[in-house]
Amino acid sequence: MLNMRKQAGVTLSGLLFWGVIIIVVTILGLKVTPEVIDYYKIKQSIHSIANKGDGKTVAEIRRDFDNYANVNQIDVIKGADLDIAKKGNRVVIGFDYERRIHLFANVSLLINFQASTE
């Protein structure tokens, strides 16, 4: 009897399958990442403004956000798109917007971003 060792490795079809999966996930990540970064910039901005917003008018808060957006290069929403309310002594700022990301052909990804300082 010959002692035969079992071969181990990746077949060409397995390599192609996993290659396609990795490429699709990478492309999706590259297209979605900038939108997620913008979302976190907006979220950080409204939290900063809300912490300093005591005694400010709605117009001043919107102007402050527009200034933050200008510095942080946020062009997704403007100060006029913010939902601003006062609960007790705190200023509550919120936003809600959708982004449609074109993937390929007639396929798009729709993401609804929303957050609040509440």
What pLDDT score does 3 carry? Answer: 66
Residue 63: what pLDDT?
93
Instruction: Please provide the DSSP assignment of 93-106 as one string.
Output: EEEEEEEEEEEETT
Among residues 90, 76, 66, 67, which one has the least CA distance to residue 40?
76
Number of Cβ within 10 Å of residue 42's Cβ equals 23
Q: Which amino acid is at 2?
A: L
* pLDDT per residue of the chain (118 residues) written in tens, 0 to 9: 566 677 777 788 989 999 999 999 999 999 999 999 999 999 999 999 988 877 788 899 999 999 999 999 999 999 999 999 888 888 899 999 999 999 888 989 999 999 999 8
CB atoms within 10 A of CB 54: 10
